[in-house]
Structure 1
Amino acid sequence: MEMNVSKNDEQVVARKQGGLNPGLIIPILLVIGVCIYLFVLGNPGNFKTDPRLAGGSVYFSDVPDKELHPESFMGIIYMGGPIVPILITFMITVIVFSFERFFVLRKASGSGNLDNFVLKIRSLLNQNKVDEALEECDRQQGSVGNVVKEGLTTYKALASDTTLNKEQKMVALNKAIEEATTLEMPMLEKNMMILSTLGTVATLVALLGTVIGMIKAFFALGSGGGTPDAAALSIGISEALINTALGIGTSAIAIILYNFFTSKIDGLTYKIDEIAMSIQQSFAEFH
């Protein structure tokens, strides 16, 4: 029993460690986001030529924002201010972990059509063909195949066990299937919290950028001795709107993808439960 518990613990750890490590990936994505902001969006080619830059005596970063005149969409995004690289990092993070979840869940579905696999397993169980069902699990693989294989292996072991009564065997079979399902869930649900969190946090960070931009706009409106600084005013307003747009866009994508992957996980769980019920019904009928 101790060896079995230890083996289960090792499988849980292996599944939790599978996939991308957020603690390592997110700092790297932050660096990438800052680089995109500084060197791609902030490229001097995205702005109207400044005579001072042409001489090489002044760096692009030393030019005041109100003297920058973007002539491309990337230049406009750059004018969103220091919150923009954070929002870019959020967007990249959503994209990276969405791809990771897509491939993990695709692998978890196994090879072949999952619906056909479920129907075939149920058909074989109705005929008490456990060995053939095990062969199907080996061909299917994936999380569903792993759980079903564990259930069928326990099914065979309990069928030849003479020390337990039928009720005890049913309890042991149900427990084996539940443990196998529990072992698979960490791999399926890992990093989903990142998408869920960014769906909310991106909007809040964008709101911070919006507030900062509006503060700058009202400051420009109130300064200048009755004559508002039109350039500073327009930059403040554009900074507020750019942050709002980036935050809402990132949040919307994160929420949509989170719900999409959640529905996929729920679908896999439903199919596992469906086959688990068939295994229990077959065992009750034939044993």
Structure 2
Amino acid sequence: MNVSKNDEQVIARKAGGLNPAVIIPILFAIGVCIYLFVLGSPGNFKDADKLGGGSVAFSSVEGKDIHPDSFLGIIYKGGVIVPVLITFMITVIVFSFERYFVLGKAAGKGNLDNFVVQVRSLLNQNKIDEALEECDRQQGSVGNVVKEGLTTYKALSHDSTLNKEQKMVALNKAIEEATTLEMPMLEKNMMILSTLGTVATLVALLGTVIGMIKAFFALGSGGGTPDAAALSTGISEALINTALGIGTSAIAIILYNFFTSKIDGLTYKIDEIAMSIQQSFAEFN
């Protein structure tokens, strides 16, 4: 089966960046290990010498008899939802770094604002070859789109088979296609941050409900005298999950909006230069 050049570019851009199907299971395994061996370390609990080494989860002491002696131990007492929320937090951090580096690379090597000013200045003077050299120096998604537009500009300038209106349509189409090819790389994995901004709160709510169920069960099963330890454990579990979920959700939403703003900024720069290319072509051709 033959694959066009555009199709190859689309495939290459979609394949770039981290693959969530591979990374997220790995991050979940890391989250579980953090929960069991870092948060669940005997050193985070009272009477650590009685718990043995390794992890509280694998000790012979029942969970209700374990009392935290540090903040990490308190988080551990949040229950089975905690490793899921830890995974969410790690996922947000990992994919935020990934988006930061990808978007930084998409902006190119030089200052993007200076690049836009320089290219627009060269277009006003109809210096297409010099503008192409600027694109080669800048690189990145913006440079790629502008270079495609300028290459088409140059080819259409020497094309005598089309009238001016047809040339303008062809130029606009080339710029739009080049922009479309770059967008998958810019927007990839953004949905993960957006989803975790909502899902983290819902999962935390599940942990909160489980904790409150345990608290009310302890309240009603004491035969007139509530089990204070079990009651406090249930309430603390509920609050720990709430705190972890809200914190993860807040960070995910902030970072999602930050990266969305950066993508919008790159798109605006592309549109700005694209308009200059169209105006220059209409003036000099």
User: TM > 0.5 between the two?
Assistant: yes
Distance 1:262 1:83 in 2: 29
Letter aligned with residue 202 of structure 1: A
Spell out the pairing of 1:248-287 with structure 2 (5 A cutoff): 248-287=246-285
Name the residue aligned to 2:216: 218
- Find the residue that maps to 1:28 and give its secondary structure: helix
Letter aligned with residue 43 of structure 2: G
Letter aligned with residue 140 of structure 1: Q
Aligned residues of 2:44 and 2:68 also touching (Cα < 8 A): yes
Distance 1:55 1:94 in 2: 31
Letter aligned with residue 139 of structure 2: Q
**How far off is 1:198 after superposition?**
0.1
Name the residue aligned to 2:77: 79
Aligned residues of 1:199 and 1:250 also touching (Cα < 8 A): yes
Distance 1:136 1:55 in 2: 61
Match of 2:118 among 96, 120, 136: 120
Aligned residues of 1:174 and 1:280 also touching (Cα < 8 A): yes
- Find the residue that maps to 1:63 and give its secondary structure: coil
Distance 2:257 2:14 in 1: 21
Distance 1:275 1:114 in 2: 11
**How far off is 1:97 after superposition?**
0.1
Q: Structure 1 149/237 Cα, relative in aligned 2: closer, same or farther at 3 Å?
A: same
Equivalent residue pairs, number = 284
Q: Structure 1 127/31 Cα, relative in aligned 2: closer, same or farther at 3 Å?
A: same
Cα deviation, 1:69-89, whole Å, max 9, x if unaligned, reads: 111110000000000000000
Name the residue aligned to 2:193: 195
Point out where structure 1 has 5 or more consecutive residues left out of the alignment. Answer: none
Structure 1 residue 242 and structure 2 residue 261: aligned? no
**How far off is 1:112 after superposition?**
1.1
Q: Structure 1 55/18 Cα, relative in aligned 2: closer, same or farther at 3 Å?
A: closer
Aligned structure 1 segments of 4 or more residues deviating by more than 4 angstroms? none
**How far off is 1:51 after superposition?**
6.3
Structure 1 residue 93 and structure 2 residue 91: aligned? yes
Aligned residues of 1:53 and 1:59 also touching (Cα < 8 A): no
TM-score, scaled relative to structure 1: 0.96
Aligned residues of 1:209 and 1:239 also touching (Cα < 8 A): yes
TM-score, scaled relative to structure 2: 0.97
Letter aligned with residue 215 of structure 1: I
Structure 1 residue 182 and structure 2 residue 146: aligned? no
Match of 1:70 among 53, 68, 71: 68
Structure 1 residue 103 and structure 2 residue 92: aligned? no
Letter aligned with residue 277 of structure 1: M
- Find the residue that maps to 1:216 and give its secondary structure: helix
Letter aligned with residue 206 of structure 2: L
Distance 1:73 1:168 in 2: 69
**How far off is 1:62 after superposition?**
3.5
Aligned residues of 2:42 and 2:52 also touching (Cα < 8 A): no
- Find the residue that maps to 1:226 and give its secondary structure: coil
Distance 2:280 2:141 in 1: 21
- Find the residue that maps to 2:4 and give its secondary structure: helix
Distance 1:9 1:204 in 2: 39
Letter aligned with residue 20 of structure 1: L
Name the residue aligned to 2:144: 146
